[in-house]
Structure 1
């Protein structure tokens, strides 16, 4: 089969202007809850896009850990490639691909680092093995072999076997301050529904329909 022959129609329903709440976070919460209820695999998984100093974009999958009107939160190694790129250019793009619901959400914004208290609170809630993994992996650095990573994990596990695992100094998180949110709902005959919220000021959002 040719790749160009792979296609399907989108029939699960549309999105109308009257369906849209005043705040984009309200519709995002509704759609996220529906993705969870539909038992999608990793409903909080999002593509995070950053740009390096040469203008080269990079993407990777990261899990959303919190959101509210103040922004969208994720955690990472502060020595990672994404963190290095965000230090040079704090602009970021997030994308949620909920294929089986025929939906996408695309967010643009600017990051700010989370406070130490916020990081400690979340890190303490993680399973101990995940805490140890944060210590063991120097994210985005080159590895000679997987065995080196596994050995480091076992070394750290033994070190903290009888006590709490502290937050690494090189581990933290970001809050994405939203500039725009686009909601995409698949439509029959490729007549998809797209609405974008653009921030006019701190208290108001402008909403526009986009052509599919």
Structure 2
């Protein structure tokens, strides 16, 4: 698979910018990298970016797209920028923080697990995985493997990443931002389900009856 140099450049620049927000919020490189858990989080972030370069993720509108759902992209962007800075800042000024290094390490572990759950389905879906809510050419329904019981494992990974990031900074504000992410996430899931239902009909309905949207046995 050929890796786009332009895509790699954008991915690394945006990732370093995001990490810089956290470093700035916490008070600089010395403060950030004095915590082993945060070093692990930074390395895990870079590993996820490298892994993403070997996927076929795209922003293609495909054969059919729900353009009305595009509002979730800037919503995720705003929440993401706030999450990059505020948890680290509240950690530095010790406002709405809790726990100690144990909480940071719990966050680091969740961050890694969430990252794996986020990336794995992207490899499984290949070109069918788009940043837009769209049906791609030759789109087929995947109902086995990681998708056997869970219809949106990558989105669950996103939430676990957000919780892990918040805990790495011991930040209640970060947890609130993770909860806020649920709003556009659920809206996106509903849009995707409507599109898949229209595309695959009874097959998708049958799949829905034996699987969960986001959290096994709950939702």
TM-score bin (small chain): under 0.3
Which structure is higher in strand share? Answer: 1
Which structure is higher in helix share? Answer: 2
Q: Which has the larger radius of gyration?
A: 1
Q: TM-score w.r.t. structure 1 length?
A: 0.20
Q: TM-score w.r.t. structure 2 length?
A: 0.19
